[in-house]
A and B are shown apart, each in its own frame.
Chain A
Amino acid sequence: MNGLRPDLAVIAANIAPGSRVLDVGCGDGALMAALRDQRQVDARGMELDPMGVAECVARGLSVIQGDADADLADYPDAAFDYAVLSQTLQTTKRPDKVLGELLRIGRKAFVSFPNFAHWQVRASLLWHGRMPVTRLLPVAWYETPNIHHVTVSDFRDLVRAEGLTVEGAWFLSGDRRIGDAAASWRAEHAVFLLTRQPGA
């Protein structure tokens, strides 16, 4: 999956060919286009920014303008094999509810987010006492769309509290995969594959 953002490349590589996928917050449709062209996936998208939707339509993708917080309710249960939420969780008003919706609509869900416990973020807070502006979080605190910063450990807690199961986890520093052990402070990005296993 050349040219894809590293977290999207991880997701694309782990989606079974021929599945049905809903990409929530699909942006310009890069993941959907790759899934369609290389994995024969029936991909649908949701995107808040009208210019993003226009870009997707221009790529021949089926995308509905909508808001992850409000509009996921309109999708029927289990309509997709996978729901994908890439780098969008931290921008939602209620990440917990969005997570629940993802696993109502999709049998499985991929969620990727920037890890707020990365050492550069920690250093910025520790040494400078300032909200970090890093390669990953390039926008100052007052204009960032990221309103719910989250760390790998926070996310694991939420997953547990929601009664969900982690089926896979990938941690990235730049475009390199790193091991689980030091992920909490070394991972810039985390990608989780979740399921809602009955009784789990």
Chain B
Amino acid sequence: MAAADPTPVNDTLVLSAPLPLDGGQSLPGVAVAYETIGTLNAERSNAVLLFHALTMDQHVVSLHPKTGKPGWWSKSVGPAKVIDTDRFFVICANVLGGCMGSTGPASPAPDGQPWAMRFPVITIRDMVRAQVALLDALGIEQVHAVIGGSMGGMQALSFAANWPERTRAALVIASTARHSAQNIAFHEVGRQAIMADPKWNGGDYYRTGKGPENGLAVARMAAHITYLSEEGMHEKFGRKLQDRTEKTFGFDADFQVESYLRHQGLSFTDRFDANSYLYITRAMDYFDLAEEVSGGDGGGRLADAFRASTARFCLVSFDTDWLYPTAESRTIAHALNASGAPVSFVELSAPFGHDSFLLDVPALDRVIAGFLNQ
């Protein structure tokens, strides 16, 4: 095999046919922006499809065009890295509903105006459907593996359950087969923060050039707390004060943790569309894999979701992740076991909470590399 070119390639596919959605509508002219790293082999058998999490995008290794920072998984994807692009052809697409080139609420509707809140409510399976269309366009019948963390893990599960013949393996990290009441509750706080910002204006803010940045920043701040562990936050910030020696008896960001969250919130508004945040969090809240495959009557058994699958599965959770705790991954592992699928599950110890899947956890690298190199 010729040495694979590690330079990431960014492209956009426009689907020729309207994309049918779980909500009953179909969406014309859907664009799917994607990045590939490595080289597809002659048998078209070495593709690895990565699904990104809520606020990430297709820039896995390439510099992010808005922040200038390295891609979200440049640590793990590349030549001779954990996901070895000398061997695998890695694909990652911006999700449907996103704001980095794939069709979302900021994209123009057929009337030329932004969709805004006219954009149909989408599901995790709709996001996956758009990416299956991308695989079709790339001429890839079956991928070596699908991999995703958090919302990416939901897509990996949905892919393996709904398109079982299209992958030989699924790696699901820090994820869940359905959104819990607590997950939905946190998302609702974020959405209400956006909608309570007068600049949101019913979602119609694209012409003003000024979106609901305050609302979106608050949404991000609330969500960011859920990505960290209590212990991790305590270690990083404790009760330390920010650039001052005494409390100000005011509402400035006295504490380092406040300053950090404000920064996280503000910088997020530079790269993310508020309406996209509404639609993508909604899709996550609607996710319930057992219900999805049973046709929505609510009576589905999770084990039935994987009945047609012959793929190998691997589930990873982190002991400090309270957003998608270990019990969620264990539930999936039991369902897969009951359906006879080859499944591995491991809870890894890492101090970083939900975000551990993106950070330096050597045991995770071992699991990913070992699972992929079969």
Contact = CB atoms under 8 A, between A and B. Distances in A.
A57 B337 contact: no
Interface string B310-351: 001010000000000000000001100110001111111100
Given A50-B347, A53-B346, A60 B367 contact: no
Contact of A58 (B337, B349, B369): B369
Given A74-B334, A76-B338, A59 B370 contact: yes
B346 A54 contact: yes
A51 B346 CA distance: 9
B370 A44 contact: no
B363 interface: yes
B186 interface: no
B69 interface: no
A90 interface: no
A75 interface: yes
Contacts of B370: 54, 57-60
Contacts, number: 56
B366 interface: yes
Nearest to A75: B337
A63 interface: yes
Dominant SS among interface residues on chain B: mixed
B337 A64 contact: yes
B342 A62 contact: yes
A65 B346 contact: yes
Interface string A50-85: 110110111111111110000000111000000000
B337 A74 contact: yes
Given A58-B370, A74-B334, A74-B337, A51 B363 contact: yes
B371 interface: yes
Interface of A: 44, 50-51, 53-54, 56-66, 74-76
Interface of B: 312, 314, 333-334, 337-338, 342-349, 363, 366-367, 369-371, 373-374
9 contacts: A54-B366, A56-B344, A58-B369, A60-B370, A62-B312, A64-B344, A64-B345, A65-B346, A76-B338
